Homo-oligomer: A and B are copies of this chain.
Amino acid sequence: MPFPDLTQPELGVYISNVEMPEDFDAFWQTTIAQARELWGDVRIVPEPTTLKVIEVFDVTFPGFGGHPIKGWLILPKERKGRLPLVMQSIGYGGGRSLPHEQLHWAASGFAYFRMDTRGQGSVWSVGATADPEGSFSSSPGFLTRGVLNKNDYNYRRVFTDGVRAIDALVALDFIDPERIALCGDSQGGAISIAAGALDPRVKAIMPDVPFLCDFRRSVAVASRGPYLEIVRFLSQHRDKSQPLFETLRYFDCVNFARQSRANALFSVALMDEICPPSGVYGAYNAYAGPKSIVEYEFNNHEGGQSFQERRQMAWLSDLFAVTS
């Protein structure tokens, strides 16, 4: 029996007590700097489709450790001037899938990049990116892979890949480096928050029902989904609770939120059993940039879906001055 979550109005004023490690910035600066030293080629290959007004490219860029990371870059065929960029990260277990599935950003005049999460992409949509780094013995699943050492933890690589994707894309002459936005739901929302905090070039983030927020609380409240991988892990490794949560402080979106400056449009689902609303509010209430949040009162983890996408398209078109 998980513990019942907060409701409004408690949620609105909930302040997470996630501890900020003293060397949080140093850890991440070093991580990003080391990754940038392992530069490699960015490969951009046209992908054949039946689409006529939209173009697709299969992109491979060097992520953490220089490892090859894949994504689809989807553009309007006719374009004048540099395009604003929306980069989407994917929810837990999914991959970039096939390119024709998500055309609304490109059709609205954006360059849209749909990035694989390394090692994932076999549960609900296909990915094409291996994770060439190994792990301590783990509960099947990515959430505990390498979790006993902050340098080995899976999300050190994943979050770094997000920054490296931006490095790769801003180098393209049809991308406008002044108008970069990140989006994603669940794990993808967490990557948006983290990469948005780590990279000052990001001007807007749109995290939906984000994962990896306020670990201690979310682990106690979630009643299903991947937070429970931590419960399973610690139910066996009964003596590893302290080092595990010490690692997680470096990857908690509450801490990233405290250092963020980009414009943010969050969404949260008040019946979310997978990413509990108090975890999301723990990050949102700590968020240091300009922000707003949309509540879906009767939704579980699916959240706002295309209702929220419609709102994002309007919000970002306005923020980035994309007019018809």
Contacts and interface: CB of A to CB of B under 8 A. Distances in A.
A100 B101 CA distance: 11
A4 interface: yes
A20 interface: no
Contacts of A135: 119, 130-131, 133-134, 145-146, 152, 154
Interface residues of A, number: 92
Nearest to A276: B1
Contacts of A148: 136
A17 interface: no
Contacts of A154: 135
Interface of A: 1-5, 7, 49-54, 76-78, 93, 95, 97-98, 100-101, 103-104, 107-109, 116, 118-149, 152, 154, 223, 229-239, 241, 271, 273, 296-300, 302, 304, 306-307, 309-310, 313-314, 317, 322, 324
A75 to B, nearest CB: 11
Nearest to A313: B50
Contact of A152 (B107, B136, B300): B136
A101 B140 CA distance: 24
B121 A137 contact: yes
Contacts of A132: 134
B121 A236 contact: yes
A298 B239 CA distance: 11
B100 A309 contact: yes
Contacts of A302: 235
Given A1-B5, A116-B137, A139-B123, A107 B234 contact: no
Contacts of A234: 297-298
A306 B273 contact: no
A232 to B, nearest CB: 6
Given A49-B108, A93-B139, A135-B145, 14 more contacts: A49-B313, A50-B313, A51-B108, A52-B108, A53-B77, A54-B107, A98-B307, A100-B310, A119-B138, A122-B232, A124-B236, A126-B137, A136-B152, A138-B233
A298 B144 contact: no
Nearest to A304: B238
Nearest to A134: B132
Nearest to A294: B238
A148 B77 CA distance: 35
Contacts of A232: 122-123, 139
